[in-house]
């Protein structure tokens, strides 16, 4: 019951802080004209979204950080190296996204950082994460505790971790195309990993990382009040890159890299739809989907945006329940 009480309190504080911050921040973004331009590929279907403020990821990033720092000062949670590298990834990838969003706004088009610049920045943060993670005494071993399997990956482990961090951050970024889609799926994903982390008793500071997950869930729920259809603000790369990389960092620290594949199933499917679309055009000069990623395919098929989002949330919830069973109970 104490664990449940701590989780609920962390979520409540994150939610209240996020709502208060959002009520001030959204009008501020509108006042300084921080808006997103409509993609040329979505003209007609997303015309109502033209001019909606972006950089809304700060609505859950800043309140989460404020709440974590406050709880640290009150000594309600402890500062560990593992919590530090989660926060480092959380802030580091947010800064990459913030710079990308800023350049898009400044140039008044949808061109921010180049793909190479963004990839280099993501790899740089991932390399620092890997260095601190290995310096903490972790072995280059892929542990599958629920199956009792340990695979020594040696030097390939570094490449594996870098791939997970970069791929996960970009997968959430790709999914962030409909009101509330990436935010809602992130709530579900962090709920799964919050529960999984609280059972990862072999991890130093496991309970504090779990509390961070629940604080972030509360902040995301507050953000969804402003991001649900019709959205008053978009999270932008500021939020999406940070969420994906942070989810991956927690999976790595808790040795649940394979569980991440289940939890992030919808994000992975969305990313695969883009890869399949690209291969179809390159190899066969034919589109597999009406538009990629997959959520836009359903839009082109005539489904309502809110129905697509709810459908994807349900799939994400089912996958997360399966992941909890795999990561905790089996």
Domain range for 267 is 2-329
User: Measured between alpha carbons, how far is 57 from 301 in angstroms, rounded to an integer?
Assistant: 29
pTM of the model: 0.93
Separation between Cα atoms, residue 295 and residue 306, nearest integer Å: 11
Distance of CA 264 to the CA centre of its chain: 9
| Pairwise CA distance, residues 46 & 175, whole Å | 16
**Based on the structure, what is the number of domains in the chain?**
1
Q: What share of the chain is helix, strand, coil (3-state, %, to 5)?
A: 75, 5, 25
Dump pLDDT digits (tens) for 170-206. 999 999 999 999 999 999 999 999 999 988 887 888 8
298 is written with which tokens? 């359903």
* Predicted confidence band of residue 39 (pLDDT cuts 50, 70, 90): low
First and final CA of the chain: distance in angstroms? 22
User: Out of 13-17, 51-55, 72-76, which region has the weakest mean confidence (pLDDT)?
Assistant: 51-55
């Amino acid at each position: 019951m104490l664990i449940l009480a701590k989780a609920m309190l962390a979520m409540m504080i994150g939610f209240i802080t996020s709502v208060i911050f959002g009520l001030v921040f959204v009008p501020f973004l509108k006042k300084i004209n921080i808006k997103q331009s409509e993609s040329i590929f979505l003209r007609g279907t997303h015309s109502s979204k033209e001019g909606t403020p972006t950089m809304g990821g700060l609505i859950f990033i800043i309140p989460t950080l404020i709440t974590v720092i406050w709880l640290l000062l009150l000594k309600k949670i402890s500062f560990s190296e593992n919590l530090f590298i989660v926060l480092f990834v959380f802030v580091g990838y947010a800064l990459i996204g913030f710079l990308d969003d800023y350049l898009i706004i400044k140039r008044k088009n949808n061109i921010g950082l180049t793909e190479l610049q963004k990839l280099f920045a993501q790899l740089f943060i991932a390399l620092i994460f890997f260095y601190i993670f290995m310096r903490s005494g972790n072995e280059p071993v892929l542990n599958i505790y629920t199956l009792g399997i340990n695979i020594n990956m040696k030097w390939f482990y570094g490449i594996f971790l870098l791939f997970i961090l970069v791929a996960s951050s970009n997968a959430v970024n790709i999914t962030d195309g409909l009101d509330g889609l990436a935010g809602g799926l992130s709530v579900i994903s962090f709920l799964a990993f919050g529960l999984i982390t609280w059972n990862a008793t072999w991890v130093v500071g496991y309970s504090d990382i779990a509390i961070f997950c629940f604080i972030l869930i509360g902040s995301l729920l507050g953000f969804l009040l402003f991001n649900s259809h019709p959205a008053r603000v978009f999270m932008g790369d500021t939020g999406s890159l940070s969420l994906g990389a942070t989810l991956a960092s927690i999976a790595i620290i808790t040795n649940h890299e394979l569980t991440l594949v289940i939890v992030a199933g919808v994000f992975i499917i969305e990313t695969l739809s883009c890869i399949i679309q690209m291969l179809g055009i390159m190899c066969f000069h034919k589109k597999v989907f009406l538009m990629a990623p997959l959520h836009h395919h359903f839009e082109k098929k005539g489904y309502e945006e809110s129905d697509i989002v709810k459908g994807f949330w349900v799939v994400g919830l089912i996958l997360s329940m399966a992941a909890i069973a795999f990561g905790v109970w089996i």
